[in-house]
Amino acid sequence: MNICNPLAVCMATFLLPVGGCSKNNESTLTAAPSNTTPPATGDHAPTATAPVSKPPQTRFERNLEKANAGDIIAQNYLGLMYAHGETKDDAKAAKWYRLAAEQGHASAQYHLGVMYSNGTGVPKDSVEALKWYHKSAERGHVSAQLRLASMYARGMGVPADDVEAYRWYLVFSDKCPAGHRDSIARQKEQLTTEQLAEAEKRAAESMTNSSRRK
């Protein structure tokens, strides 16, 4: 009886063709079970989660951020938006105008003066209004200059003062020569020669100071 050599059996098994045994001599070896789970399909397939991005800031949000950081242009913009925009809020408008005005923004100073004149967002106060009109006018804001001229000419919130009225009309007309000619001419007629000279002197000083502030 021939006894098989175990080593020979192992070698014979190792030397089988890659394709496995023939049909007449199929290997009884089976593949080891796989631990890999087939990918899910259909409703059970996992979905990729897209990164969440913030929506772009609106113009209002950008200016709010800048205003909180002390930007006077953004502060004046917020004042305008709260005074005249869709989210109207006079108290907030006055708040932002004031922050810009205190830093020397001429337009914010003028608008704050208007709010004090009208009592919108702040208590009505002609003294405060006059203060902010003066600050704005001295920085070259033509609307503030015209407002001062009219206030002094008519005694609106201040004692009437023909010299001061003509002074601010002259400052205003330096930038707007075609504006309010009739009012300026009528105001000039109210003055004596000495008053006219004084008004022209004050106007020249105001224009010089305004140019230095720019």
pLDDT in tens, the chain (214 residues): 444 444 343 333 333 343 443 444 443 334 444 455 555 555 555 555 656 677 788 989 999 999 999 999 999 999 999 999 888 999 999 999 999 999 999 999 999 999 999 999 999 999 999 999 999 999 999 999 999 999 999 998 899 999 999 999 999 999 898 888 999 999 999 999 999 999 999 999 999 987 776 6
- Residue whose token pair is 């408008």: 93
Q: For residue 163, how many other CB atoms are within 10 A of its CB?
A: 20
Task: Give the Cα separation of 214 and 211 in Å (integer).
Answer: 6
Residue in 204, 147, 196 with CA at minimum distance from that of residue 171? 204
Task: Give the Cα separation of 76 and 136 in Å (integer).
Answer: 13
> Helix (H, G, I), strand (E, B), or coil: what is residue 48?
coil
Length of the chain, please?
Answer: 214
On whether the CB atoms of residues 50 and 82 are closer than 8 A, the answer is no
Q: Which domains does the chain have, with CATH numbers?
A: 57-139 (1.25.40.10), 142-214 (no CATH)
